[in-house]
Structure 1
Amino acid sequence: MDIWTFESVEYVTVAGEAWLASASAYPRSTRALWQERPWAPTVLPCGRAFDVVSMPALFGRRVLDELWTSGPGCGPVASYRGRLLLFAQVGTAERLRPLLGWEEWAPEVPTVLCHGAGDAVTVPPLQRMVDSPDAPGLGPGRWIVAPDRREPWLPDTPVLLRACVRAARRSGRRPAPPPHGANRFLSGEPDC
């Protein structure tokens, strides 16, 4: 299934709303706010119910394609101000960025921002109300894969690392050769 062929916006279900609100220190207040303003973006803390991996839209699309075609699929995904927000398991943010830096394809991976404990992200509105006078325009974000369960499946570090590396390889660029002596332990050659 190609998630990019959908023209309609996916909406957050009641169960998905409960899951998103569980990230807040005050879930009942968050849900009450959404009852009054379901079209308003919301800032939620990371590290409690989810981590978020934010990447440029084009690279994010390649990563999502990898997750769907050669992987297990993805959990909730949002688009906000030109970046894709992939919701991931708690702890992913802390581990993913350093691992991406170790990969030989690291120069081909654009800036990936990993938001975990102590960080917060703006998530798109639960609904889009085009004709409402209280909700002018469509706003800067939308759900690509909306949360639809109380406990959605979330990718972990190895799944996202594989998808990022494969997406970088698919871009058609070649990595820079390793610096002289970088493979000396594997080849048995001296570093001189």
Structure 2
Amino acid sequence: MSAWLKDETTLHTGAAPHHGVGLFALLRDQPGSQAAQVTAAGAAWLAGATPYPRSTLAQWEERPTAPGVLPCGTAFDVVNVPALFGRRMLERLWAEGPGSGPVATHRGRMLLFAAPGTAQRLPSLLSWEEWGTDGSGGVGGAGEERGTMPPLLCHGTGDAVTVPPLTCTSSDGGPRWLVAPDTRTPWLPGPDMLLWACVRVSRTPLPRAGAQTIFPPADQGANVYDVTRRR
């Protein structure tokens, strides 16, 4: 299986297996590097979250445009946030922090892949920071005004999440990758880093209209992340 797993290969938009050519042969043979496209090594990492990675890869080869369902808690946890709040978190992580791990969108929410254990630890850290779990804001100590913290859903051991298809078919409004997995061991933020991003966003006013952003308009599929910047 490892013969075709190259970090630098990607699935290009609209790619599909040709007659007699397997999906992962295309992953191997088509060079490129785009943040929103899954690499062959990234696909192997995703499949490794399941008890039977070979079977998972075989299913994806048969249906490369279908979303999948993967368990959390072993290879990754997932922090599930409202889309706008998640976009602002990514702005912070990429502009002022170390970048992010894989990130996907699904049903108006953003899925931030995080280090295992984050789902258990992050809610405790937020409570320690005195952010209520009901999303209410308030005024902090020393006269510091606080914004609102929307409900965060943390998926860990015993949970499962829907992941976008390997091929980039995001124009239909279904799940899609913003930052796709690209290596066998992608960097994943831990609870401390995600706490930092949550608190910074909640304490920062919404950006003014016309302000610069790393995100393209919603109807564009441009790649806006330089994954080589991950620290």
Is 2:126–2:195's contact at 8 Å kept on the other side of the alignment?
yes
Identity of aligned residues (%): 62
Asked whether the equivalents of residues 12 and 148 of structure 1 are also in contact (C-alpha less than 8 Å), the reply is yes
Deviations 1:95-145 (CA, angstroms, capped at 9, x unpaired): 001211232454311011000011100111111358xxxxxx735110000
Partner of 1:175: none
Which of 59, 63, 67 does residue 37 from structure 1 map onto? Answer: 63
What are the equivalent positions in structure 2 for 1:131-170 lying under 5 Å apart?
138-170=172-204
2 CA distance for matches of 1:151 and 1:103? 31
User: Does residue 63 of the first structure (1) align with residue 63 of the second (2)?
Assistant: no
Q: Residue 114 of structure 1 aligns with which residue? A: 154
Structure 1 residue identity aligned to 2:159: D
Aligned CA distance change for structure 1 residues 50 and 138 (closer, same or farther; 3 Å): same
Q: For this pair of structures, how many residues does the alignment match? A: 159
Letter in 1 for 2:175: G
How far apart, in 2, do the equivalents of 1:144 and 1:129 lie? 12
Runs of 4+ in 1 over 6 A off after TM superposition: none
Question: Would the aligned equivalents of 1:55 and 1:112 in 2 still touch at CA under 8 Å?
Answer: yes
For structure 1, list consecutive stretches of 5 or more residues without a partner in the other structure.
1-7, 131-136, 173-192
Alpha carbons 1:128, 1:138 under 8 Å: kept: no
The DSSP-based 3-state class of the residue aligned with 1:170 is coil
List runs of 5+ in structure 2 lacking aligned partners: 1-33, 137-147, 207-231
Larger Rg: 1
What residue number does 1:128 align with? Answer: 168
Matching residue's letter, 1:160: L
**TM-score computed with the length of structure 1 as normaliser:** 0.78
Corresponding residue for 1:3? none
Q: TM-score, normalised by structure 2?
A: 0.65
1:72 aligned partner? 98
The whole-number CA distance in structure 2 between the counterparts of 1:128 and 1:69 is 25
RMSD across aligned positions (CA): 1.7
- Name the structure, 1 or 2, with higher relative contact order (CA <8 Å, separation 6+): 1
1:14 matched residue in structure 2: 40
Aligned equivalents of 1:12 and 1:79: distance in 2?
A: 14
For residue 22 of structure 1, report the CA deviation from its aligned partner: 0.3
Cα distance between partner residues in 1 of 2:185 and 2:161: 19
Which has the larger share of helix?
A: 1
Hey, what's the Cα distance between the residues in 1 that align with 2:93 and 2:53? 30
